[in-house]
Amino acid sequence: MELKASLRECEIHVKASEEFAINKAVELTSKLQKAKQEIQKRNEDMQIALTQAREVALQVADLADAAMPWSQNLNPTLDHEGKLTRLLDEINKLGSKAHRYL
């Protein structure tokens, strides 16, 4: 009789362990799925940000290309022309940096 009770107790323990393992597997599967969704969302956000950065880089490069003839034709004797020259130089520098991202 004592052996049967011990066997029954072991069966109950095994069943409880199985249920715990199944519940834990379901929980971990759910967490894994959520993590995959978050990673996918971040990847999509990064792709959008990268596309936007490329578009900005293209615009800066285009602006630098358009500013190049102006910067070569300026006579920086007047104050506002000097400021414009510095601005165009800065645009050219940004254009050079932008080309690295294209």
List, for residues 19-45, the tens digit of each pLDDT value.
999 999 999 999 999 999 999 999 999
> How many whole angstroms separate alpha carbon 47 and alpha carbon 39?
12
Whether 76 shows a pLDDT value over 60: the answer reads no
List, for residues 39-74, the tens digit of each pLDDT value.
999 999 999 988 888 888 888 877 777 777 766 665
Check the CA dihedral 48-54-60-65 and report its sign.
negative
pTM over 0.75: no
* Contact status, residue 64 vs residue 92, Cβ threshold 8 Å: yes
